Amino acid sequence: MNAPGNSTNGFIQFGQRLVFGARPIILILFLLGTAAMLYQASKLRVDAGFMKQIPLEHEYMQTFLFHQEFGGANRLLVALMAEDGDMFDAEYFQSLEDLTDRVTYIPGVDRATVRSIFTPNVRFVEVVEGGFSGGNVIPSDFRPDPEVFERVRANIVKSGEIGRLVTSDFSGAMVWANLLEEDPLTGEKIDYQQVAAELETIRSDFQNEAHSMHIIGFAKIVGDIADGARSVIMFFAFAIVITLILLWIYARSIKLVLAPMLCAIVAVIWCLGGLQTMGFGIDPMNILTPFLIFAIGVSHGVQMVSGWIVEKYFTGKSPTECIEESLAVESLPINTSLGAAKGAFARLLAPGAIALLSDTIGFLTILLIDIRIIQELAITASVGVAVIILTNLILLPVLLSYVKMGNDEGYRQAAYDRAGTSAPIWGWAATMAKPGPARVALAVAAVLFAFSFWKSHDVQIGDSESGVPELRENSRYNQDARLISERFALGVDVIGIITETASESCTEDYEVMRRIDEVAWQIRNVEGVQKVLTLSMVAKIVNAGWNEGNPNWRTLSRDQFIMRQAISGIETNTGLLNADCSAMPILVFTEDHKAETIKRVVAEVKNLREQYNLLPESVQLVSQDDDTSTAAEADSPADLQANVCAEADESCLRIRLATGNVGVMAAVNEVISAAQTPILLWVYSAIVVLCLITFRSIAATLAIVLPLALVSYLAYTVMALLGIGLKVNTLPVVALGVGIGVDYGIYIYSRLQSLLKEGCPLDVAYYRTLRLTGRAVLFTAVTLAVGVGTWLFSPLKFQADMGLLLAFFFLLNMIAAILLLPALCQVLLSKKAKNA
């Protein structure tokens, strides 16, 4: 029996006595623990939340939270369209009124924010001979006849809601509403799936041959994702069936198939039960994580099963080694199952523990991203992999120690016969350990690295496509979003830029209003901006109205009484000012929420705030950095949670980013951009440290880590070529791919190192290493790739993207480890080590 290293022999022997001396106790403990965790897992609930999606400590989100009176990104938009293209008929108006009432009473809706042409907060203003006249868009004496319909049509035009609440061709109208995180009536956390179900009920009640319904908003996204996530059960079933087939092909024994499968299922149960015990739910966006845990558990279990077979039937040698040494297989003694389990435990404890610790660290580094949904994913996955350390390195060897094979001689002969079938493949791969092929392999790798490093800069931080990228392009939600964007002029993507001033500055401080107006004009000329709305623009229109509509008067007045006259009719529910006029948003409607669009708008706003901020000496702020990504790097926390201009006794203006759905996306994109490099540095640093501790060799550590770096950049290249942005769903994949991908190199080098210590030259040692571990490593990669590959057929695009990237990582890391690790060893290891 060859232990991984002499320095660990004492610990391994202690572990053997501890584990195998108390096998019944261990089985009872795992049985009781699994029963308890199964009970806890049965109580686990889907837990979705809007606030989990955003980086709450980011500068923009501090603005978002401080100025919640202007509404947020958690909005519902429900459009009712007339199929004949004309909304002016009695049936349509009755349906729209009923729809407004139904939306108003959805649990969690902030009723004060509901807007439609039937709500009293949607009014019109017109210039008449004596000044201004106005009223509700739907008059109090409304009746469905042609005369009143013409009045309503005129009122809609005068209200300025064309393109917002009503389409420009009068073929449909919308109802807007903001959702709260807690139901204002019960105080309980809002159930987004219940809201989504209620919206679908409303759709079924109102949609008919005459009218179509189109619904968008965060709650609807959560509902659609939750519906799609239910298909994960089917994918899990497929993965189990495929894994069973692959395990059978590998082990050719139902007992050796069921043992690692059982341990992987136990790990999943403990993972889900642990989440419930810690007070977490499971988010629809993270629902695939337990099934990733299952695939990791099975793949590592294969290594233990392989080691057990070697120890039981071939006295610690691989079948191929027996062939090479001309050993008669029938002359070899057959070990007991207990002895084989002890041998496999001793051989794989160190590399298995290091590999699984690398996986765990890969997950834990994701905690650096200050977005709760990602942190929950990190916790879920870390708990699962930590449990796998127990199930695969303790429970599985104990289970294998009880396995009784029906025909030991027949099984050994079959394994012996199969060993010769893969020799040509491993013989070719082993040539990479020779000087000539090694140089060629490293030269090709260098070219691939240079290309992928260059191409990786094309990866977008954020969404690279319009619509909701988590869903398929042809999903109902994205079809609704496209229709609303096309038929309503202002679209659905908006970023709110908050201008903070002293109280009543909108009527008393011309300089502040002038600056706000100029900022709005500058932003309006940015590529990708559809329209800009701000109080100063409305004030100019009203001022012209007071002067017979003369365009020469469409300007801001320096006279505070005239300004008060222009603004007095503009209510706070328009979202253009707060109660004391100390905050006035600049609403920027964008054509889409693609990463490049958001980046252009945000960059322009950051540039403009440096030019137009007006902060007197009495107001002291931490300097704002154009590259800010967190609150700590911009204003101080106290500054971000207050309007520092509110009490100023002179002109004061501070421009702050950002509210609206695009503002949230901008914050998320900046957090991800700032986190991606530190996360990879932490993952690689942890792997380097673990490899140095395990193998005590810088050359060996580089041989294991450098192929990982190449695959990481190749993954960025794939993302750039396929248009997959780096965002909440994909950034964790990069860290996970590295953490899990290092397993191959660890298992391969662990065996290679032991053969080198026995005196084998590098090329011979590597050939024998592949004959022993190559099949298990290949199976591990295929098992992992198949497990996540089923996600490609998910109705949710983000799951398909994750499945594609993870499968790429698993397969490419395996190929890179098999081909580049020996080439790097040839270059980096000392002559003495290579020809021991």
Could you read off the pLDDT of 232-254 as tens digits, one per residue? 677 777 778 888 888 888 778 88
Residues in the chain: 836
Query: What is the spatial distance between Cα 318 and Cα 369, in angstroms, rounded to a whole number?
Result: 45
CA-nearest of 575, 591, 582, 583 to 491 is 591
DSSP 8-state code for residue 555 = S
From 64-68, 127-131, 336-340, the region with the lowest mean pLDDT: 127-131
Confidence of residue 521 (pLDDT cuts 50, 70, 90): very high
Q: Both tokens of residue 765?
A: 């040692």
CA-nearest of 116, 152, 157, 121 to 137 is 152
Residue 833's Cβ-count burial label (10 Å; 0-12, 13-18, 19+) is middle
Confidence of residue 395 (pLDDT cuts 50, 70, 90): very high
CA-nearest of 740, 781, 780, 761 to 822 is 761
Residue 317: what pLDDT? Answer: 55
Sequence-ordered alpha helix ranges (H) in 648-758? 660-695, 698-722, 731-757
More confident of the two residues 427 and 1: 427
Res 608 pLDDT > 80:
yes
Q: Both tokens of residue 139?
A: 């008059």
Sequence-ordered alpha helix ranges (H) in 456-568? 476-487, 505-508, 510-524, 535-545, 560-567
From 217-231, 295-309, 443-457, 693-707, the region with the lowest mean pLDDT: 217-231
CA atoms within 13 A on the CB side of 71: 28
Q: Which of 35-49, 180-194, 307-321, 698-712 has the highest mean pLDDT?
A: 698-712
Q: Both tokens of residue 143?
A: 């009746």
How many beta carbons lie within 10 A of that of residue 182, not counting itself?
11
Phi/psi-derived region of residue 520, left when phi > 0, alpha when psi is between -120 and 50, beta in every other case = alpha
DSSP state letters, 345-405? HHHHHHHHHHHHHHHHHHHHGGGGS--HHHHHHHHHHHHHHHHHHHIIIIIHHHHHHT---
Residue 416: what pLDDT? Answer: 67
Strands 653-659 and 493-501: antiparallel
CA-nearest of 465, 436, 372 to 719 is 465
Query: What is the spatial distance between Cα 708 and Cα 355, in angstroms, rounded to a whole number?
Result: 14
Residue 283, phi then psi, degrees to nearest 5: -80, 145
SS3 content of the chain, % helix, strand, coil (to 5): 65, 10, 25
Could you read off the pLDDT of 614-667 as tens digits, one per residue? 777 666 554 444 443 333 334 544 455 567 776 767 778 888 888 888 888 888
From 118-127, 138-147, 323-332, 763-772, the region with the lowest mean pLDDT: 323-332
Q: Both tokens of residue 735?
A: 């860290």
Query: What is the spatial distance between Cα 496 and Cα 37, in angstroms, rounded to a whole number?
Result: 46
Residue 133: what pLDDT? Answer: 72
- The residue written with tokens 């252009």 in the block is 600
Residue 399: what pLDDT? Answer: 92
* Mean pLDDT over the full length of the chain: 81
Query: What is the spatial distance between Cα 742 and Cα 585, in angstroms, rounded to a whole number?
Result: 49
Average pLDDT over residues 395-410: 84
Query: What is the spatial distance between Cα 87 and Cα 487, in angstroms, rounded to a whole number?
Result: 13
CA atoms within 13 A on the CB side of 773: 30
3-state per-residue secondary structure call for 180-219? CCECCCCCCECCHHHHHHHHHHHHHHHCCCCEEEEEEEHH
Percent of the chain with pLDDT over 70: 87
Could you read off the pLDDT of 782-804 as tens digits, one per residue? 877 887 787 788 777 877 888 88
260 Cβ contact partners less than 8 Å away, ≥ 6 residues apart? 247, 297, 298, 301, 302, 304, 305, 392, 396
Could you read off the pLDDT of 534-593 as tens digits, one per residue? 988 888 887 877 777 777 888 888 888 888 888 877 777 777 888 888 888 998 988 888
635 Cβ contact partners less than 8 Å away, ≥ 6 residues apart? 59, 621, 622, 624
How many beta carbons lie within 10 A of that of residue 336, not counting itself?
12
Query: What is the spatial distance between Cα 796 and Cα 714, in angstroms, rounded to a whole number?
Result: 24
Confidence of residue 27 (pLDDT cuts 50, 70, 90): very high
Average pLDDT over residues 206-217: 90
Query: What is the spatial distance between Cα 275 and Cα 288, in angstroms, rounded to a whole number?
Result: 14
CA-nearest of 236, 233, 242, 241 to 786 is 242
Name the pTM for this structure. 0.77
96 Cβ contact partners less than 8 Å away, ≥ 6 residues apart? 80, 87, 116, 117, 118, 173, 175
Confidence of residue 28 (pLDDT cuts 50, 70, 90): very high
Q: Both tokens of residue 348?
A: 């794989």
**Please, are residues 405 and 254 in contact by the beta-carbon 8 Å criterion?**
no
